[in-house]
Structure 1
Amino acid sequence: MKFFITGAAGFIGFHLAARLLNDGHSVAGYDGMTSYYDVKLKKARLAKLQEFENFEFTAAMLEDRSALALAYTEFEPHIVIHLAAQAGVRYALEAPDAYVGSNMIGTFNLLEVVRQGMPEHLLFASTSSVYGGNEKMPFSEIDRTDFPVSLYAATKKSGEAMCHTYAHIFRIPTTVFRFFTVYGPWGRPDMALFKFVRAINRDEPIEVYGHGQMARDFTYIDDLIDAIVALSGLTPGDKRAASSDSLSPVAPFRTVNIAGGTPVELMEFITAVESAMGRTAKKVLRGMQPGDVVETHADPTLLREMIGQVPSTPIAEGVLRFVRWYRDYYLE
C-alpha cells in the first residue's frame, strides 16, 4: 500500500511512517519543518526514515497548495493520513496566525488536493481538546463539541467540520481520530513529559499547573500507532460498531477516540517521572493556564468495538521508555 503522511517528521508522523515502512509499505512524507520546536530533532527523525528505500519526502508547508498537489499527484497514494498541524494550546496566544494557516487553510488545501485524486481512505488527526468545556465524563465521540476553550481546539474542530463536508459532497471515506495526550520516545519538547525530564536532569524546578489538581488520559505512542494502523484499513461503512457509533448519517465519515479511558492524576504522573529518573523533582505550583482543561477522559468503547483493543501501556512503563530514549539521545 502507498501512504501519504503529512507531518511525517513530527513525533506521531515519524513513528507511524517507521511502522508502515517496516511493514513493507511505501510512504511519501510531507512536512513544513517549522521552528516551533528544535528542528534538529525533526531532522534526526527524518534521517531515520530516509534510511528506507520505500520512503520519499517533500519539505513544504501545507499552505503551499502547488507543492502539496505536486507531491500528492506524483505519488498517487491509496491512503492519506493528515497529521501535520500547529500543535500546542498555549502557543496560540503568541502566534494565532500559525494555527489558522496550518490547521484551517492547510487542511482545506489538502482536501482540495485529495478530491482531485480520490484515495481509498482519508484519516485526519484531531484532538481531545475539541471537547473543550464539556463537563460530562468520559468524552464520547457523539458528545457535542461546541465549547472550545483554546484557539487550537477551535481550529481542529474546524478541520473536522471541513472533512465532514468534503466526505459528504465528494464521498471521500474519512476517519477522524481524537488523540489524548500522546507521549513516548522522540516526543515533542513542548510537552509536559519532555519538560519535566529535562528540568529534573538539570536539577531545575518543574512547573506544576493547576496546582497539581489535573488529570490526563495519557496514550503511549506505540499504542496509538497500533490503533491508527488498524483503523486505516477500516473505512466508514466497512464495519459498524454495535453501540455508540459516530458514523455520519449523510457521509462516509466517522470520529474515533484513541485513548485507554484511564486518566492519570498529574501528581501520579510526576511520581512516575521521578521514579524513572531516580530523582525527586523540585516543584513550583502554578495556576491553570489559559486554554487548559482540568481533566481529559476518553470513552474508548468505539475504538474497542472497531479494532478489539485500546491503549494499555502502564504510565510507569511508558515514562521509563521515554527517559531511556532521552538519555540515549541527549546525554550519550
Structure 2
Amino acid sequence: MNINTLDTNKTFLITGAAGFIGFHLSKRLLNQGCRVIAIDNINDYYDVNLKNSRLDVLKPFENFTFIKADIADRLMINQVFEEYRPDIVVNLAAQAGVRYSIENPDAYISSNIIGFYNILEACRHYPVAHLLYASSSSVYGANKKVPFEETDIVDSPVSLYAATKKSNELMAHTYSHLYQIPATGLRFFTVYGPLGRPDMAYFGFTQQYFSEEPIKIFNNGDFNQDLYRDFTYIDDIVEGIERLLGNPPNTKDNALHRVFNIGNNTPEKLMTFIETLEKCLSNSLRREVIFKKSFEPIKPGDVPATYASTELLEKAIDFKPKTSIQEGLQRFTDWYCEYYKVK
C-alpha cells in the first residue's frame, strides 16, 4: 500500500475522538470516505462544550459511529471490537496534562495504564493490521541532549503523566513481541491549533487576555533560562498519523513495535511564542494586544526544553512537520475569536 494513500475499505477505531487530536484525525479520515468508529468518555477535565462542538462536526458523516465509553471499561471495549472488528486502531484516549497528574494520579492510572491494557488485550483477541497509540515528548524527562532522538534513554520521567506514557511504550513493545501486534507509538511534541485544549498554555493565555487576567509564565522571569518548546501544529500531526496508518512495522524491521517523534524540529522560546500569539491575536481583532504578564517558578513536572529529531519519521513516511508558529497561531486566534464571538 502506498504510504500516502488511505485504504478507505478499512474500519478505523479512534479512541479519544472528542479530544483535540482525535477529532482532527477523525475529520480527516471521514472527509476521505473512511469508516470511523469513535470512542470517548467525554470527561470534564476541560470544557465539555468544546468536546461536544467537535462531535457536532463529526456526527453528520454517515460513516461515523460514536460510542460514549471509557477505555478503562474492559467489557465495553471487548464488545466494540467484537461488533465492529476494526482493521486499524488509533488509541488517543488518555488523561492528559503534566501538572494535573500531580493533583489527581488516579485518573492517569485508570485511563493511561488500565485503559491502554484493555486496548492491547482487545487487539490481541481481535487481531488488527496496525495499532497506533499516543505517547508524548514528556518521556524524555529532563534529558539535556537535544534534539531528542527515539534511541535516547528515557528512564527518568519527571511526572506521573510521563511515567504512564513510558509504560505504554513498554506494554506495547511486549504485546507486539508476544502476540505479533504491529504497533507504532507516537511521541507528540506540544500540539496546538484550532479547537485545541483549553489546558494548554496558548489557549489559556488567550482566555486570560479576554478575562483581563495576567498570564502566568513559569520561567522565574529569567530570560536567560527561557523555556523552549517544539510547538507542532495540529494539521502536521494529523498528516503524520495519516501517512503512518497504512505503513505498519513489519518483520523486516526486526520488531513489530516502533516509536516515532512527531515534532516541528524547530524549538521556539516560550517568550517568542507569546509575542507571536500577541501579534496574531492583534491581527484577528484588528487592534493591538499586549498580555499582562506575571512570572513564577517553573512548576514540578515541567521540563526546560523539548526538541524533536524527526529523522526516523522522515525516513519512514517522507514527511516532517513544517507549519510555522506564525501561520499556526494565526489560524488558532482567527478560530478562537469566531468560536467565542469576541471582539
TM-score, reference length from structure 2: 0.92
- Tell me the percent identity: 51
Following the alignment from structure 2 to structure 1, what is the Cα–Cα distance between the partners of residues 327 and 217? 22
Partner residue of 1:243? none
Residue from 133, 140, 153 that aligns with 2:162? 153
Pairs within 5 Å for 1:221-300: 221-237=234-250, 249=254, 251-278=255-282, 279-300=289-310
The answer to whether structure 1 residue 108 and structure 2 residue 117 are counterparts is yes
Post-superposition CA distance 1:215-256 (Å, at most 9, x none): 100100001100000011111128x7xxxxxx5x4x311100
The answer to whether structure 1 residue 7 and structure 2 residue 35 are counterparts is no
> How big is the shift at 1:89?
0.3
Following the alignment from structure 1 to structure 2, what is the Cα–Cα distance between the partners of residues 275 and 203? 17
Residue from 222, 232, 256 that aligns with 1:219? 232
Pairs within 5 Å for 1:155-174: 155-174=164-183
Following the alignment from structure 1 to structure 2, what is the Cα–Cα distance between the partners of residues 277 and 299? 30
The answer to whether structure 1 residue 310 and structure 2 residue 326 are counterparts is no
> How big is the shift at 1:260?
2.0
Following the alignment from structure 2 to structure 1, what is the Cα–Cα distance between the partners of residues 209 and 320? 31
> Do the aligned residues in 1 keep the contact of 2:142 with 2:304 (CA within 8 Å)?
no
Partner residue of 1:140? 149
> How big is the shift at 1:76?
1.0
Partner residue of 2:128? 119
3-state SS of paired residue (2:67): strand
What one-letter code is carried by the residue in structure 1 that aligns with 2:209? Answer: I
Pairs within 5 Å for 1:193-208: 193-208=202-217
> How big is the shift at 1:139?
0.4
3-state SS of paired residue (2:340): helix
Residue from 17, 21, 26 that aligns with 2:26? 17
> How big is the shift at 1:297?
0.4
> Do the aligned residues in 1 keep the contact of 2:39 with 2:68 (CA within 8 Å)?
yes
Following the alignment from structure 1 to structure 2, what is the Cα–Cα distance between the partners of residues 179 and 330? 27
Aligned-residue Cα RMSD (Å) equals 1.2
> Do the aligned residues in 1 keep the contact of 2:263 with 2:310 (CA within 8 Å)?
yes
Following the alignment from structure 1 to structure 2, what is the Cα–Cα distance between the partners of residues 223 and 91? 26
Post-superposition CA distance 1:175-234 (Å, at most 9, x none): 110000000000000000100111122332100111361010010000110000001111
- Runs of 4+ deviating beyond 6 Å: none
Residue from 317, 321, 325 that aligns with 2:335? 325
Where does structure 1 lack aligned partners over 5 or more consecutive residues?
A: 241-246
> Do the aligned residues in 1 keep the contact of 2:216 with 2:296 (CA within 8 Å)?
yes
Residue from 138, 141, 159 that aligns with 1:129? 138
What one-letter code is carried by the residue in structure 2 that aligns with 1:220? Answer: Y
> How big is the shift at 1:114?
1.1
Q: Which of 215-224 and 63-72 deviates more?
A: 63-72
3-state SS of paired residue (1:331): coil
Post-superposition CA distance 1:143-191 (Å, at most 9, x none): 1110000000001110111011000000000111000000000000000
TM-score, reference length from structure 1: 0.95
Partner residue of 2:285? none
Following the alignment from structure 1 to structure 2, what is the Cα–Cα distance between the partners of residues 31 and 71? 12
Number of residue pairs aligned between Structure 1 and Structure 2: 323
